Amino acid sequence: MDKDYRLILEKSINMNKCKEENLIRFDTIKVSYLEYIIFKIYSKVKKKIREKSE
Amino acid sequence: MIIQILDTLSYGDAVSNHALGISKILDKNEIENKIYANCVDSRLSDIAKKIDTYTNKKDDIVIYHLSSGCAIADLISSYDCIKGIDYHNITPACYMHNYNKRLERVANKGREDLYNLRNVVNFAWADSDYNASELEQIGYKCKIDTVPIIMDYNEYKINPEKSILDKYDDHGWVTNIIFVGRIAPNKKQEDVIYDFYYYKKYYNNNSRLFLVGNYNHFEKYYLKLQKLVNKLNLETSIIFTGHVKFSEIIAYYKLADLFLCESSHEGFCVPLIESMLFDIPIVAYNSSAVGETMGDGGVLIDDKDPCKTAAVVDTVINDSNIRAIISSEQKKRLDQFSVHMTEKKLINLLYSLGGCCEVYY
């Protein structure tokens, strides 16, 4: 992207609308082993169904 | 004969498609060639054979596609012929650490293989200059050339999956943002979700995010993403497609108003080129090979500030002048990656490897 174009874009951006918030941090989200195992089984079943339909 | 070797030849992944693309070019130029792999998708068993059926001959030229660790790398060293690697990069193992121990080991083995082959191969190819520079840093002394991923744009001229269009096509009422790529920690889908949260809340409530890609092997990461989506109350606006057929990917591209990429590690990033092909403006975080693949197309962002990214997304979607410039630049970039351009380079490179083929350009 040439410099002139970047300048046009920089000038056009409206940053004022957006307010920074204290959102939940991704690294604090935990997945339990039970959740993981249940989902693994669910994924395997889903995959088999999909393969059969294809 | 040109022998291409890879760990897995599967249906639809970038490295397999690249190997098949090379094979097609060689066939077209009447250059004898074969593909061998550890695992071959049953749908491709006519095209490729299992690696244990290959007997190395002195006149062969072996191209080993390296994108992960596997036992084949040790075999390559034993071949008594001209041999080289086509380096597609290896996702750094640190990204897998908390999510998949087996893949973490495979990635580490890949880095070991890459290092061990540095004095074994006679030539090296890389998808991007970014990948080529990694080879130089590791200590590859042979000639290194950049050969972009082969993409035949004609293959994208198929009908999009009607059921997807019927479900989501609302004639422009909803703005559709898309990211295409397997659900994996290095792709940083969480950052795309944060960007989308701000965009939807402060700029456009009538918007939707499609995260198109398979979550196989990264179920834990996928569950974390889902929890994040729930905590941000975006369950009805963010769609995880899971594994999709090619015609379904085409449908999602047809629906998209903007491609948003926050990936931290890409050796090339095929979906960027696909977005250019479907004339979708791209906003992407400037990491690894992303900036190089985009060239002068799309908008590159140097920092991870979701407020700023949301503002850029809004500007690109609403400002038709800016969109027109992006579209024109992306078209130019697309031409540079056309299969014709890559074919020319590839054949010249093979010819330079010792007159293996009598084709002149």
A41-50, B160-169, B213-222: range with lowest mean pLDDT: A41-50
> What's the pLDDT tens digit per position in B304-359?
999 999 999 999 999 998 999 999 999 999 999 998 888 988 988 988 886 444 43
Per-residue pLDDT band for B360 (boundaries 50, 70, 90) equals very low
Which residues of chain B are within 8 Å of residue A29 when distances are taken between CB atoms?
224, 227-228, 231
CB contact at 8 A, B249 and B278: no
* Residue of A20 and B292 predicted with greater confidence: B292
Inter-chain touch A18–B310, beta carbons under 8 Å? yes
Closest CB from B215, B228, B316 relative to A29: B228
- The whole-angstrom distance between B41's CA and the closest CA on chain A is 13
> What's the pLDDT tens digit per position in B125-151?
999 999 999 999 999 999 999 999 999
Residues B162-191 have a mean pLDDT of 94
Q: Measured between alpha carbons, how far is B199 from B176 in angstroms, rounded to an integer?
A: 12
Inter-chain touch A23–B232, beta carbons under 8 Å? yes
Inter-chain touch B322–A12, beta carbons under 8 Å? yes
pLDDT of residue B359: 37
- The whole-angstrom distance between B27's CA and the closest CA on chain A is 29
Inter-chain touch A17–B311, beta carbons under 8 Å? yes
- The whole-angstrom distance between A25's CA and the closest CA on chain B is 9
What is the interface pTM, i.e. ipTM, of the complex?
Answer: 0.84
Q: What is the 3-state secondary structure (H, E, C) of chain B?
A: CEEEEEEEECCCCHHHHHHHHHHHHHHHCCCCEEEEEEEECHHHCCCEEEHHHCCCCCCCEEEEEECCCCCHHHHHHHCCCEEEEEECCCCCHHHCCCCCHHHHHHHHHHHHHHHHCCCCCCEEEECCHHHHHHHHHHCCCCEEEECCCCCCHHHHCCCCCHHHHHHHCCCCCCEEEEEECCCCHHHCHHHHHHHHHHHHHHCCCCEEEEEEECCCCCHHHHHHHHHHHHHCCCCCCEEEEECCCHHHHHHHHHHCCEEEECCCCCCCCHHHHHHHHCCCCEEEECCCCHHHHHCCCCEEECCCCHHHHHHHHHHHHHCHHHHHHHHHHHHHHHHHCCHHHHHHHHHHHHHHCCCCCCCCC
Residue with tokens 């497609």, as numbered in its chain: B241
Which residues of chain A are within 8 Å of residue B321 when distances are taken between CB atoms?
8
pLDDT of residue A47: 79
pLDDT of residue A44: 84
- The whole-angstrom distance between B50's CA and the closest CA on chain A is 23
pLDDT of residue A51: 75
- Token code pair at residue B313: 């997304």
pTM above 0.90, yes or no: yes
Bridge partner residues of B361 (DSSP): none
DSSP codes of every residue in A1-54: --HHHHHHHHHH---TT-----PPPGGG----HHHHHHHHHHHHHHHHHHHHH-
To the nearest 10°, report the CA torsion of B304, B310, B312, B318: 170
In A, residues 10-29, which contact B (CB 8 Å cutoff)?
12-15, 17-20, 23-24, 26, 29
The tally of CA atoms less than 13 A away on the side-chain side of residue B178 is 29
- Between chain A and chain B, the number of residue pairs with CB atoms below 8 A apart is 78
Closest CB from B190, B310, B315 relative to A9: B315
Closest CB from B224, B312, B314 relative to A31: B224
CB contact at 8 A, B322 and B315: yes
Closest CB from A8, A15, A54 relative to B307: A15
> What's the pLDDT tens digit per position in B148-173?
999 999 999 999 999 999 999 888 89
Closest CB from B216, B220, B300 relative to A36: B220
pLDDT of residue B99: 93
Inter-chain touch A36–B224, beta carbons under 8 Å? no
- The whole-angstrom distance between A47's CA and the closest CA on chain B is 9
Per-residue pLDDT band for A4 (boundaries 50, 70, 90) equals low
- Type of residue found at B345: K
- The whole-angstrom distance between B21's CA and the closest CA on chain A is 24
Per-residue pLDDT band for A2 (boundaries 50, 70, 90) equals low
